[in-house]
Amino acid sequence: MDERVTCCIAGGGPAGMMLGVLLARAGVAVTVLEKHKDFLRDFRGDTIHPSTLQLMEELGWLDDFLKLPHQEAKSIYGQFGDTRLEMANFSHLPITTKFIALMPQWDFLNFLAEKGRAYPKFSLWMNAEARGLVFDGDRVSGVKVKTPEGAVTINADLVVAADGRSSVLRGAAGLVSEDFGAPMDVMWFRLPRLPPDTEETQGRFDAGHIFVMLQRGDYWQCAYVIPKGGDARVRAAGLAAFRKSVGALLPFDAKRADAIPDWDHVKLLTVVVDRLKTWARPGFLCIGDAAHAMSPVGGVGINLAVQDAVAAANLLWQPLKTGRLTFEDLEAVQKRREFPTRATQRLQLAVQNAVIAKTLSASGPITPPLIIRLLTRLPFVSRIPARLLGLGFRPEHVTEAIRNAKGA
pLDDT at 396 over 80: yes
pLDDT confidence of residue 307: 97
Q: Report the distance separating Cα 393 and Cα 337, nearest Å.
A: 10
pLDDT confidence of residue 246: 96
pLDDT at 42 over 70: no
Q: Which residues contact 273 (CB under 8 A, 6 or more apart)?
A: 179, 180, 181, 182, 293, 294, 295, 345, 348, 349, 352
Q: 3-class DSSP state for residue 72?
A: strand
Q: Are 287 and 173 in contact (CB under 8 A)?
A: no
Q: Are 336 and 312 in contact (CB under 8 A)?
A: no
Which residues pair with residue 136 across a beta bridge? 139
Main-chain dihedrals φ then ψ at residue 362, nearest 5 degrees: -75, 145
Q: Report the distance separating Cα 390 and Cα 47, nearest Å.
A: 11
Across all residues in the chain, what is the average pLDDT? 93
Q: Are 94 and 387 in contact (CB under 8 A)?
A: no
**How would residue 378 be classed by pLDDT, with cut points 50, 70 and 90?**
confident
From its phi and psi, is residue 137 left (phi > 0), alpha (psi between -120 and 50) or beta? left
CA angle at 90 for the pair 184 and 21, rounded to the nearest 5°: 75
Q: Are 1 and 150 in contact (CB under 8 A)?
A: yes
Average pLDDT over residues 91-100: 94
Average pLDDT over residues 132-143: 96
pLDDT confidence of residue 43: 55
Would you list the DSSP string of 307-352? HHHHHHHHHHHHHHHHT---HHHHHHHHHHHHHHHHHHHHHHHHHI
Helical packing angle, 370-377 and 383-390, nearest 10°: 100
By CB neighbour count within 10 A (0-12 exposed, 13-18 middle, 19+ buried), where does 15 fall? buried
According to CATH, the topology of domain 2-74+101-180+272-361+394-404 is: FAD/NAD(P)-binding domain (3.50.50)
Which residues pair with residue 221 across a beta bridge? 190, 214
Average pLDDT over residues 383-388: 88
Task: Provide the 8-state DSSP code for 294.
Answer: P
Q: Are 249 and 204 in contact (CB under 8 A)?
A: yes
Q: What one-letter code names the amino acid at 311?
A: A
Q: Report the distance separating Cα 284 and Cα 108, nearest Å.
A: 26
Q: 3-class DSSP state for residue 372?
A: helix
Q: Are 405 and 27 in contact (CB under 8 A)?
A: yes
**CA atoms 26, 31, 33, 39: torsion sign:** positive
Q: Report the distance separating Cα 269 and Cα 271, nearest Å.
A: 6
pLDDT confidence of residue 85: 85
Average pLDDT over residues 116-136: 96
Average pLDDT over residues 195-207: 88
Task: Provide the 8-state DSSP code for 254.
Answer: G
pLDDT above 90 covers a percentage of the chain that reads: 76
Average pLDDT over residues 321-326: 96
Q: Report the distance separating Cα 331 and Cα 311, nearest Å.
A: 12
pLDDT confidence of residue 13: 93
Comparing 214 with 287, the larger pLDDT belongs to 287
Q: Report the distance separating Cα 408 and Cα 317, nearest Å.
A: 12
Q: Which residues contact 402 (CB under 8 A, 6 or more apart)?
A: 22, 25, 26, 313, 314, 317
Of 395, 173, 127, 390, which Cα lies nearest the Cα of 283? 173
**CA atoms 62, 63, 65, 68: torsion sign:** positive
**How would residue 379 be classed by pLDDT, with cut points 50, 70 and 90?**
low
* pLDDT digit string, tens, across residues 209-229: 999 998 888 899 999 999 999
Q: Report the distance separating Cα 315 and Cα 240, nearest Å.
A: 53
pTM: 0.93
pLDDT at 177 over 60: yes
**How would residue 146 be classed by pLDDT, with cut points 50, 70 and 90?**
very high
* pLDDT digit string, tens, across residues 243-258: 999 999 999 999 999 9
